[in-house]
């Protein structure tokens, strides 16, 4: 099973999803991320899904779950780089990912975290 790497930049964790997500790797990512947030005392998580072309309701829910989970640790989650087709799919699935902030790209996401807006 492929693992999604979690990178640390200052007090921000950067997760760039570059693989086709399987249910198992999603589960693993959630656990790894929770551990990492606690270990590094991160206050922000950026999830880059630029490379994700296909989503289903499971992945949609995973994104929300990560959002709510990080909030419990006092970290903000910002979802960046969503493709138009993915956005349309999520909306059609009725998943509006309440509670997760979004940004167009990683740069804007980092700025959003830094600005505290």
Partner 1 sequence: MDSTQARMAAFLHASQPEVLQRWTEAASASSGNRVPAAELRRELEEIYALVLRLITGADDSAAGELRAVLAEFSRARARRGLTPSETALSIFSLKDAVYALVADAAEMVPEYLVFAGTVDDLGLQTFESFVAAREQVIADQAESMLELSTPVVRLWDGIIAVPLVGTLDSARTQLVMEKLLDSLVATEAEHAVIDITGVPTVDTEVAQHLLKTVQAARLMGAECTITGIRPQIAHTIVSLGIEFGDVLTKQTLADGLRYALDRCGLKVVPA
List residues binding partner 1 (CB under 8 A): 79-80, 82-84, 86-88, 90-92, 96-97, 102-105, 108-109
CB of 99 to partner 1, least distance (A): 12
CB of 80 to partner 1, least distance (A): 6
Per-residue H/E/C for the chain: CCCCCEEEECCEEEEECCCCCCHHHHHHHHHHHHHHHHHHCCCEEEEECCCCCCCCHHHHHHHHHHHHHHHHCCCEEEEECCCHHHHHHHHHCCCCCCCCEEECCHHHHHHHHHHCC
Closer residue to partner 1 in complex, CB, 40/64: 64
CB of 1 to partner 1, least distance (A): 28
Closer residue to partner 1 in complex, CB, 72/117: 117
């Amino acid at each position: 099973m492929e693992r999604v790497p979690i990178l640390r930049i200052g007090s921000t964790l950067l997760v760039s999803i570059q693989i086709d997500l399987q249910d198992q790797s999603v589960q693993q990512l959630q656990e790894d991320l929770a551990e990492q947030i606690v270990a590094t005392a991160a206050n922000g998580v950026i999830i880059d899904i630029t490379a994700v072309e296909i989503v289903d309701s499971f992945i949609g829910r995973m994104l929300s779950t990560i959002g709510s989970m990080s909030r419990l640790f006092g970290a903000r989650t910002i979802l960046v780089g969503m493709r138009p087709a993915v956005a349309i799919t999520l909306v059609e699935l009725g998943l509006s990912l309440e509670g997760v902030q979004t940004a167009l790209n990683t740069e804007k996401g980092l700025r959003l975290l830094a600005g505290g807006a």
